[in-house]
Amino acid sequence: MTDVLIIGWGKGGKTLAGTLARAGRSVTLVEQSSAMYGGACINVACIPTKILVHDSQVPHGTDYDATVFAAAVDRRDTLTAAMRAKNYDMLDTVDGVTLIDGTARFVDASTVEVATADGATRISAETIIINTGATPTPLDLPGADGPRVHDSESIQHVDPLPKRLLVVGDGPIGLEFASMFAGFGSSVRVLSRHDRLLARDDEDVAQVLTDVLTDAGVEIVTGAAARAFTDTGTEVTVTAEIGGETREFAADAVLLATGRSPNTADLDLAAAGVDVDDRGAVVVDDRLRTSAPGVYAIGDVHGGPQFTYLSLDDNRILEDLLLGAGDRRVSDRVAVPTTTFVTPPLARVGLSETQARERGLDVIVASTMVRDIPTLPRPKIVNNPAGIIKVVVDASSKQILGATLFCVDSQEVVNLVALAMRHGITAPELASSIFTHPSTSEMFNGVLAGI
């Protein structure tokens, strides 16, 4: 018997385990793979991919050199191993936390059976938290399980670096890897089912992104639906339907960037009375409670935007519910920023111009190409003045409704905009603020001037 059982060692789960144990609760954390201590972020997602993104942009004097990619993979593996060990130690040294390696499935709403190397054991708990995350969604197409067809996890160890990479999917993961492998010298082609990139975003931003990727050597094929993958023994041929016609593309490797699905199939959630939606995501309310009393879900497993920082915020909601007043809600979140780590990064928060106008809002839109902002020398200093800045402002109140920052350092600066939005700082106030020089934050002195 334990007070709290957490299934899965993700960002929210590991943080909550330590917090609850220090508050006097007995906590048992179950993780099915020792390679995933610390969660997906540090092992297969945020951290390792950003290492590769960074190293792909370090000048290496040649268009293609497999040894450069191999060295980046080694650095990736070294850092993630160190972080994995640190994460384990951070909980293993906390009194009240018991760590178990094994695969869990529900027996009922308060009992879980864990299959371990030493056999099955049953654990009962007053509170059970599902934190099993998500994994790449496979494609049910002929040949999609071939040896040269990868998902976003296996592609990180592709060997050797493919001279020709074909990416199926134009979401954030697909575009990030396309940009990264182009930086390493691969010839990259992206198959997009849509008429253009960023199909739901502003057309001008989409065009700038397309131009930047094209300049980096990425070919974008729009209106393309993959139908089959044929391995010839030396390469893989991808058959796609484009405009009613069939075309074939040859590549050394294929990346399926077709989204991520919640890890719930093996949990036997029905035995606990836990409802899931049509994608297998655990259904939760505004305080992360499932349909079974005493059972909660945090992180990617309950669907919605899949970001580590939202898993961390899920942890705060449950901490408040289990130890505090229970006032925090998922719906409290406003101005949540996102970043797609192409080069330069594409960061967004709030409404786009298209979304604002579709809502009938009276807005002022400040939009400027990065290279044309006189108060912004930093991108030129680091030799990457590509991109566009767009800020959507309420015409009457001058409140910032949203921003798209496609530029150097945007993953940092977007947090400043999000903070301004949460606290009612107006566009004129941001425009007249004092920023260090030279910094990317200085963009607001120019872009928002006169609003």
Q: Are 233 and 251 in the same domain?
A: yes
pLDDT tens per residue across span 328-353: 999 999 999 999 999 999 999 999 99
pLDDT at 214 over 80: yes
State how far the Cα of 187 lies from the Cα of 166, in Å rounded to an integer.
8
Tell me the residue range of the domain where 111 lies: 2-136+260-332
Q: Are 46 and 75 in the same domain?
A: yes
Decide if 142 is inside a domain: no
Q: Are 251 and 282 in the same domain?
A: no
- 58-81: average pLDDT: 94
Q: Write out the H or E segment, with its range, that includes residue 204.
A: helix 203-215
pLDDT value for 73: 98
- 67-84: average pLDDT: 98
- What proportion of the chain, given as a percentage, has pLDDT over 90? 98
Are 78 and 70 spatial neighbours (Cβ–Cβ below 8 Å)? Answer: no
pLDDT value for 180: 98
Report the 3 state secondary structure along 383-415: CCCCCEEEEEEECCCCEEEEEEEECCCHHHHHH
Q: Are 399 and 427 in the same domain?
A: yes
Domain boundary among 307, 332, 357: 332
Decide if 230 is inside a domain: yes
Choosing from 60, 302, 423, 437, the catalytic residue is 437
Q: Are 154 and 238 in the same domain?
A: yes
Q: Are 370 and 393 in the same domain?
A: yes
pLDDT tens per residue across span 13-39: 999 999 999 999 999 999 999 999 999
pTM for this predicted structure: 0.97
pLDDT value for 424: 98
pLDDT tens per residue across span 100-152: 999 999 999 999 999 999 999 999 999 999 999 999 999 999 999 999 999 99
pLDDT at 61 over 90: no
pLDDT at 62 over 80: no
pLDDT value for 59: 87
What are the tokens at 68? 């450069």
437 in catalytic set: yes
CATH classification at residue 310: 3.50.50.60
- 160-166: average pLDDT: 98
Compute, in degrees rounded to 10, the torsion defined by CA atoms 225, 231, 232, 236: 50
Of the pLDDT bands very low, low, confident and very high (cuts 50, 70, 90), residue 60 is confident
pLDDT value for 392: 98
What are the tokens at 290? 């499932």
Total structural domains within the chain: 3
Q: Are 97 and 223 in the same domain?
A: no
pLDDT at 252 over 90: yes
Are 365 and 391 spatial neighbours (Cβ–Cβ below 8 Å)? Answer: yes
